[in-house]
Chains A and B, each alone.
Chain A
Amino acid sequence: MSEKKIAYYPGCPSATTAMEQDMSTKAVFEKLGIELEELEDWNCCGALEAGDPKLVIALNARNLALAERKGEDIVTPCSICYYNLARTDKALREDEKLRAELKEIDRSLEYNGTVKAKHVLDVLVNDIGLDELSGKMMKKVNLKVAPYYGCYLGRPPETAFDDPDDPVLMDQLIELMEAENVPFSYMKTKCCGGPLMMTRADIAFEMARKILEGAKNAGADCIALACPLCGMMLDAKQPDIEAAFKIKIDMPVIYITQLLGLALGIEPKKLGFNKNIIDTKKILEKVM
């Protein structure tokens, strides 16, 4: 990894529901000696609620252009923000007419495709690399972990950076920190139900329940994930899911950057371990 400075696109949940993901991402990169420089005045990517692809492209062109003017690649911890940034980058690289149209709307939307949009997980494993990381491991994370990838890391094919059916990047990080991956392949890439939460909570709850109980049945101490919407569904909504189905799950849900931070010897508070909704005490006790 040559560059030591990357433009950081935190995404909207970083300020509220996914604070611990934001905190741990910053702490991990700081420890690795890479400067994350937050993009100034970034706007929301439109998530999955901006249905019109042209609107998504215009919204994300502004963010890509902000990074391009600084000459830095852009990295985000959110799977959906990543999808929107990456598909916009691809669409604009391929379509000169579209680039011209955007420039017409406002000069600040001029993007020439000279930077890359990446997800934090991709940067950690594929750019920084396992070799480099392995030399920096300070602690053994003595946990059984269910690595949960969700939707937008391994699909759709146009933006994916991991395998669609059996993704491995988180598994590799978990092995590196000497933790154990529990058998979880059949659940790794199932949708958490997040996008249906506000309109069909009944379906969303059932989707999340399957993943949570799947992790529990596989003997996991915690679920590791890399998307704030999955975090919201599996962690913040977990007590609601327990109440709706009259079940007890009590499964800690930890962002992969939080776990990696522990292995790198960063103190738990800096990684936001007091921010996860399901208590993380049991997790921290097992880190040596």
Chain B
Amino acid sequence: MIKTWELDPNFKYEIMNEPGGEHLTACYQCSTCTLGCPVTEIIPSYNPRKIIQMSLLGMRKEVLSNADLWICALCQTCTARCPQDVMICELMGAMRRIAEEEEKAGDIKIESPRPLFEKAFLHTLQKYGRLYDMGLALEYYPNREGSKIKGMKAMMKDYKDFGMRMFKKGKMGPLGGGGVFKGMRPEKIKEREVLKKIFEKVGEKEK
């Protein structure tokens, strides 16, 4: 049951002020987004239409602490089909960023490792200018598992067979591909100073 006195009527405007959230109130609940969603097909309780309706009603805390915000695959099917141009993928992004701010303020706990993954990704990008799989994994797994040892174990489990497969094809690992340590070593760009400036000016929320 919704407790009307706990609703936040300004929540929709908060979302609409975030890039990507501008079209929220255009939604008329037709459910085209949900009917075509490949994630809903697998997890039937995942319902983007419902997340939008809850946002319009002002169920701020329920929306921001909802783990479902983080299982959108960003495949753009809903965005392409929405008759009201709500831009649902972008809307999810806007809500995710508000949720991250809310977690920083200590008001909610995000039940998904996705923010940790994005942070690790952006750290390698900021540091080297290009994606560095190994560096990303070495930051992400320990953070996700809550300790270095558990992180290494989880990483080994995911990468043991996969890594060997890549290694055999010369795509990853020592002695592979074009160099002795291809894929083990980051590729660095020269103008990393520019990236530093970019992250200082527009990446505040991503640090």
Contact = CB atoms under 8 A, between A and B. Distances in A.
A167 to B, nearest CB: 12
A237 B87 CA distance: 30
A54 B125 CA distance: 15
Interface in B71-125: 71, 73-77, 79-81, 87, 89-90, 93, 96-97, 112-114, 117-118, 121-122, 125
Contacts of A277: 165, 169
A17 B198 contact: no
A152 interface: yes
A49 B198 contact: no
A283 interface: no
B172 interface: yes
A138 interface: no
Interface stretch (B3-11, B50-58, B182-190): B182-190
A156 B79 CA distance: 6
B198 A55 contact: yes
Contact of B172 (A16, A108, A207, A243): A16
Contacts of B183: 15-16
A196 B73 contact: yes
B137 to A, nearest CB: 9
A155 B79 contact: yes
Contact of A109 (B38, B42, B71, B194): B194
Nearest to A194: B73
B191 to A, nearest CB: 6
Contacts of A55: 198-199, 202-203, 206
Given A203-B42, A236-B162, A19 B93 contact: no
Nearest to B183: A16
Contact of A19 (B19, B133, B177, B191): B177
B61 interface: no
Nearest to A58: B198
Interface in A94-144: 105-106, 108-109
B197 interface: yes
Interface stretch (A26-34, A40-48, A213-221, A248-256): A40-48
A271 B195 CA distance: 34
Interface string B163-207: 001100111100001100011000101110011011101110110
Interface string A184-206: 00000111011110111101101
A183 interface: no
Contact of B202 (A16, A105, A160, A196): A105
Contacts, number: 163
Contacts of B187: 15
B182 A15 contact: yes
Candidate in B96, B122, B178 with the most chain A CB atoms within 10 angstroms = B122
A46 B80 contact: no
B166 A236 contact: yes
A62 B206 CA distance: 19
A53 B197 contact: no
Interface residues of B, number: 62
Contacts of A48: 74
A222 interface: no
Interface string A142-162: 000000000110111100100
19 contacts: A13-B131, A41-B129, A43-B129, A44-B131, A50-B206, A52-B19, A52-B203, A55-B206, A58-B201, A105-B197, A108-B194, A109-B198, A151-B74, A151-B77, A156-B80, A191-B75, A196-B39, A199-B113, A236-B165
Interface of B: 19-20, 38-39, 42-43, 70-71, 73-77, 79-81, 87, 89-90, 93, 96-97, 112-114, 117-118, 121-122, 125, 129-131, 133, 140, 158, 161-162, 165-166, 169-172, 177-178, 182-183, 187, 189-191, 194-195, 197-199, 201-203, 205-206
Given A51-B206, A155-B76, A207-B42, 5 more contacts: A41-B191, A51-B97, A52-B203, A52-B206, A239-B161
9 closest A-B pairs by beta carbon, nearest first, are A191-B75, A155-B80, A12-B131, A49-B121, A155-B76, A43-B129, A54-B202, A58-B198, A151-B75
